[in-house]
Structure 1
Amino acid sequence: MSSNSIKNILDECKFNRFHLGLLLWCLLFVSFEGYDLVVYGSVVPFLTKEWNLSPIEAGVIGSYGLFGMMFGSIILSLLADRFGRKSIIIVSVAFFSIFTTISGFATEAQLFSWCRFLAGVGFGGTLPTVISLLTEYIPKSSKNKSITIALCGNQVGGILAPLIGVLVFASLGWRPVLWFSAIPLFLIPIILKYLPESPQFLIRKGKLDVLKATLTKIDPNYQDRLNAEHTKISELPAEQTPIIGLFKNKMGLSTILFCIVYFMGLLMIYGLNTWLPKLMQSAGYPLISSLGFAIFLNGGALIGTIIIGVIADRKGSKKLITGLYMLGAICLALLGLKSNIVLLYLLIAIAGVCTMGNQSLLNAFVSQYYPNSVRSTGVGLANGVGRLGGMLGPTLGGVLLSQNVPIGFCFLVFALPGVCAALALFSVRKGTQKDEQIHSINSELKIN
């Protein structure tokens, strides 16, 4: 009987109730992360009035969350490769839930700022770890689609935050909108019971009974495929310092290129989300239409993310992501030209797919590029460096507008990072890492 690795079993199995449950959990985590990240924008008008904050002070407070995300992306994702995905997901969710809730009790800006920073650490740790866990368990035929669906939680949370605000502000004020973030804390006991741990981590820790129970839910006939009587399940040794592992086995250049892609991609995303309404208003469109453009940007991303995830599972990711970055750059450049309103809405919707939607697909691609031993660290490092681009985007837009630069040139500036991202991704070499092996030997550690 032939031997098959755990990875092959997980990749080749059919999508079932186990995978659906895992996907829904991850969608929930990302949705609450998206809510907590965006909710600051909903309450900032009340904070500036109540605490007499200037626009600059309010902007600085908002940036604390992004700083926290940068640290969380790198540090917590590194820990996830050492101590397991499940525990770090719980820590990350607890961090952003607790500190966002505490910020709802703040009476001055300093405490609120610290809460945003610490919540940001949780934001940063959640995404790479969720992506890594999905990458390990979801069948290969549904991997990209499932990861992109889970990451649509960012848009779900982004829609939920202002919606809750509309329902609550008038009667209860701004604080309950932040207290809403405590809900995930009550779910932690259920998460502990039902969220699976990384299979490679379970093997490394010798928790084979737990792994057996999980594999049975995925494929009741897995033991036949393992030929367990004559096999030993093992994986490549865990990196003592995972971040160093990103630069071994000819992965160093790709790691640097991924950081460039994330930097450019998040620069476009945060720059557009911050300044698109203002740019379109400056181009002569009324405020209502300008806000409509922002809705189309996010709406296009939400719908398009699912579509490109399905295409990626059938046709592959790298060429698709590269092409979408180039298409996004073209659409942004064309936005600087006065055009038919219907065409402009279409260009903005496509730009949303090619920026925010493409970012979700990029996360799925990068998570599959790295081996299990450094997967979370690789995704986390790229996201962490990318947050620097996310911080630069709004600043760059503000500088351009303050200098009265022509609107067409402003859009060209935001289009250029798309070209850079496409060129960097095109230069990434094909991944060749093996995640794990099964060796046929005598006197072995058996899974059955």
Structure 2
Amino acid sequence: MDANDMRREPMDVREIIDQAGVSRYQVMIGLLCFLIVALDGFDIAIIGFIAPHVRSDWNLSMIALGPLFSAGLLGLMMGAFLGGPLADRIGRRGVLILSVAWFGVACLGSAASPDIVWLIALRFLTGFGLGGAMPNAITLTAEFSPDRRRGTLLTLMFCGFSLGSALGGVVTAYLIAEFGWRGVLAIGGLLPLMLVPVLWVALPESVRFLALRNGNDARIAAILMRVARDRAGSDRRYFAAEDRASSSPVARLFDPRYRQGTLLLWLAFFMSLLLLYMLINWLPILGARAGLSLKQASVFAGLLQGGGVLGAIVLGVLIDRFDAYKVVGAAYLVGAAAVASLAATGSASWLAVGIFVTGFCVSGSQVCANVIASAFYPTSSRATGVAWALGVGRIGAITGSFGGAVLLSAGWSNAALFLILAMPAMLSGLGVYFAGAFRARAASASTSSDADVALTVHGSELGS
């Protein structure tokens, strides 16, 4: 074989990325996705801060605010269910840019809402765009990350969500007196619209997606040259060493190789986000019932978020070094113990410790669960797998938001609530752990099957 033939030897794009270091180009992709999820967190956070002002301006009852909160979550769920399969069919880049533009326009439009009905409708549309953006940001970052560094890079990227949520509170506090709640929503819409042209120019398509769809070799080479110049070249041919889907991306989730793991991951996402949103929405009220001041309750809410950021970073490093399913499963179980321990004490200092540990283990594990979902499925259905897991998780978030109101109205004590809230964390841990066990069995069976096929082929060749 001459040199030209060697250069035309097909190369696996996944191997090129996995064997290369982390280039500036990959850091840039991660940073752009960081900004996208930061805007996601910012937009989700501001609605809670502007709600009292909306209520005051329009003389609304507390009950009327319920649909305003749930509309965004419902939009997030629907956007995730539709955005994932669309990205697996037409590409991650286009859907991601469209989603950012969509939620920017919808949020900007909501600033001009004439009444609560319009605001609720536009919050649903904003959530719809956000729902398509987040899973595709996760998927694109994952597909440009070397396997040995994927956990760390993805968790760092996803910390943008917590940063955006925190900035949402700070920005609202400073701007609402000057510009009102409409001005805050306008800023929430303008920021993503300003990011859209940057994404259009700088954000590439996933080379794994392009190779799987027999994309143009020159286009793949141009991207890979910026990832690993010494391994890629314009005169090479590229492929993705994965099986192509013979069915729709959604149907692929229920293929016998993935079905049980899909359901277990959905259990983990549903229970994890149920717990987190119940705590996020109702922690101030639970704190007030425990005799804490509003200032103390707000500090505790910050501890939950801060613990989640630190937990995501630490657990992200650990899942790159050890079995991700065991690490995340164990962290969820420790989180369950931390939640349960909150029922046993009225001490403010211990509550602070318990809430921080809960954020570290549960919120941090939820970020890592996104990493697990992105690695669980093949390229042909990865965006769908991540998006649908998040969509099911949003159903859990809605359940948690309303469930808190039901339990508090029924007169449950704080101690009883914390004990019952330990169960979702425990079920999340078990879901992740057994999804890992299922994946290990499926991989072992696949390896054995491949070996049997190879032996059969080799035997027939010997006999011919």
* TM-score normalised to structure 1 length: 0.92
Give the corresponding residue for 2:198: 190
Name 1:410's counterpart in structure 2.
417
The answer (yes or no) to whether the contact 2:209–2:379 under 8 Å persists in 1 is no
What's the CA shift for 1:426? 2.0
Seen in structure 2, the aligned counterparts of structure 1 residues 141 and 234 have a Cα distance that, compared at 3 Å, is: closer
Instruction: State the match for 2:299 in structure 1.
Output: 292
The code of the aligned residue for 2:184 comes to V
Which consecutive residues of structure 2, in runs of 5 or more, have no partner in the other structure? Answer: 1-5, 447-464
1:217-296 equivalences under 5 Å are 217-223=226-232, 228=236, 235-296=242-303
Residue 346 of structure 1 pairs with residue 324 of structure 2:
no
Q: Structure 2 vs 1, CA of residues 77 and 190 (structure 1 numbering), >3 Å: closer, same or farther?
A: same
Cα deviations across residues 145-189 of structure 1 (Å, max 9, x unaligned)? 111111111111111112111221222211111111212213322
**Match for residue 423 of structure 1 among 415, 425, 430:** 430
Structure 2 matches for 1:86-235, cutoff 5 A? 86-181=93-188, 182-203=190-211, 204-223=213-232, 228=236, 235=242
Q: Cα RMSD over matched residues?
A: 2.0
Distance in 2 separating the partners of 1:326 and 1:160: 30
Report the residue type matching 2:33 in the other structure: C
Secondary structure of the residue that 2:439 maps to in structure 1?
A: coil
Select between 398-407 and 8-17 the one with higher mean Cα deviation. 398-407
User: Secondary structure of the equivalent of 1:222?
Assistant: coil
What is the CA–CA distance in structure 1 between the aligned matches of 2:401 and 2:241, rounded to whole Å? 47
Alpha-carbon distance in structure 2 between the residues aligned to 1:112 and 1:233: 45
Mapped pair 1:321 → 2:328: yes
> What TM-score does the superposition give when structure 2 sets the normalisation length?
0.89
Partner AA of 2:352 in structure 1: Y
1:33 aligns with 2:40: yes
Number of equivalences = 432
Q: Tell me the equivalent position of 2:75.
A: 68
Cα distance, 1:190 vs. partner? Answer: 2.2
The answer to whether structure 1 residue 54 and structure 2 residue 64 are counterparts is no
Q: After superposition, where does 1:353-364 map in structure 2 within 5 Å?
A: 353-364=360-371
Write the distance in 1 (CA, Å) between the matches of 2:72 and 2:169. Answer: 18
Q: Name the aligned partner's letter for residue 10 of structure 1.
A: I
User: Contact 1:299–1:349 (CA<8 Å) still a contact in 2?
Assistant: yes
The structural deviation recorded for 1:205 is 5.0
CA distance in 2, matches of 1:135, 1:33: 18
Partners of 2:340 and 2:419 within 8 A in 1: yes
Going from structure 1 to structure 2, the CA distance change for 1:249 and 1:227 (only over 3 Å counts) comes to farther
Cα separation, 2, equivalents of 1:262 and 1:302:
18
Q: Quick one: structure 1 residues 275 and 264, their matched pair in 2 at CA, closer, same or farther if it must change by over 3 Å?
A: same
> 1:221: how far off?
1.8
Counterpart amino acid of 1:362? A
C-alpha deviation, 1:86, in angstroms: 0.2
**Relative to 1, partners in 2 of residues 1:232 and 1:276: Cα closer, same or farther, differing over 3 Å?**
closer
1:64 CA displacement = 0.5
Measured against aligned partners, the alpha-carbon deviations of 1:186-214 in whole angstroms (never above 9, x if no partner) come to 33222112101011332325322121011
| TM-fit CA distance, 1:234 | 6.4
Q: Deviations over 1:196-244 (max 9, x none)?
A: 10113323253221210111111112248x9948x86665324551100
1:341 Cα deviation from its structure 2 partner: 3.1
Taking a change above 3 Å as real, the CA distance of residues 21 and 406 of structure 1, as seen in their structure-2 partners, is same
Runs of 4+ displaced beyond 4 Å: 1-4, 226-229, 231-235, 431-434
In structure 1, distance between residues paired with 2:315 and 2:140: 21
Higher mean C-alpha displacement, 267-276 vs 163-172: 163-172
Asked whether the 8 Å contact 1:304–1:357 carries over to 2, the reply is: yes
- Structure 2 vs 1, CA of residues 233 and 370 (structure 1 numbering), >3 Å: closer, same or farther? closer
- Of 309, 312, 326 in structure 1, the residue corresponding to residue 319 of structure 2 is 312
Structure 1 match to 2:393: 386
Runs of at least 5 residues in structure 1 that lack an aligned partner in the other structure: 435-448
Aligned AA (2:424): P
- Distance (whole Å) between structure 1 residues aligned to residue 22 and residue 390 of structure 2: 28
Q: Partner of 1:152: helix, strand, or coil?
A: helix
Does the 8 Å CA contact 1:44/1:58 hold for their aligned counterparts? yes
Partners of 1:247 and 1:255 within 8 A in 2: yes
Higher relative contact order (CA 8 A, sep 6+): 1
Inter-partner Cα distance in structure 2 for 1:309 and 1:139: 14
Q: What is residue 369 of structure 1 aligned with on the other side?
A: 376
State the Cα distance separating 1:353 from its structure 2 match: 1.4
Deviates more, 1:396-405 or 1:107-116: 396-405
1:281 partner amino acid: A
Give the aligned residue type for 2:266.
C
1:211 to 1:275, Cα distance in 2 relative to 1, 3 A: same
3-state DSSP of counterpart to 1:218: coil
Give 1:246 shift: 0.9
